[in-house]
Amino acid sequence: MFSTICGIALTLHMGLNEEYQYNSVHPYCKAKTESNVIAAAYYNSVDRVSLFVGYEYDINYHTSIELGVASGYKYDVTPTVRVNYKNLFLMPALHKGKTGLAIGLQYNF
C-alpha cells in the first residue's frame, strides 16, 4: 500500500550563481510506501522535470531526512539529500561550480 501527495514548494537559493535566475516554484507529486520508499516527479530549480526515488528516514513526528537520486540536472543521476521539518525543508545545491543551499516551504494539496 502507498499514499500519494501532490502540492507546490517555494524555494530560496542561497550561495549559488547570482546571475542565474533559479526557478523558485516547484509543483510536485510524490508516492510513499508503508516502508518509507518514496518516488516523486517535480519541476526543479533549473526549469526541468525531475524524477526522484529514495527513502525517507523519520526522525520524529515532525522531522525526516530524504536520501535518494534525481534526474533532470547536469548528470543523468544526481544524489540528493533533504531535511524536512513540518512544511519547511533544507537541501544542499550545486550549480555551475558553486555550492549553496535551497531553503523551501512546501504546501500539500
Distance CA(43)–CA(97), nearest Å, equals 22
Q: What is the pLDDT of residue 19?
A: 77
Q: Using an 8 Å Cβ cutoff, are 13 and 45 in contact?
A: yes
Q: What is the pLDDT of residues 25-53, one digit of tens each?
A: 999 999 999 999 999 999 999 999 999 99
Predicted local confidence at residue 74, as pLDDT: 86
Query: What pLDDT does 94 receive?
Result: 86
Q: Please name the helix (run of DSSP H) or strand (run of DSSP E) that holds residue 84, with its range, or none.
A: strand 78-85
Q: Look at residue 20 in the predicted model and tell me its pLDDT.
A: 86
Residues of the chain with pLDDT under 70: none
18 CB burial (10 A radius; 0-12, 13-18, 19+): exposed
Mention every residue, 6+ apart, whose C-beta is less than 8 A from residue 66. Answer: 38, 54, 55, 56, 57, 80, 81, 82, 84
- Residue 52 contacts residue 43 (beta carbons within 8 Å): no
Looking at the whole model, is its pTM more than 0.75?
yes
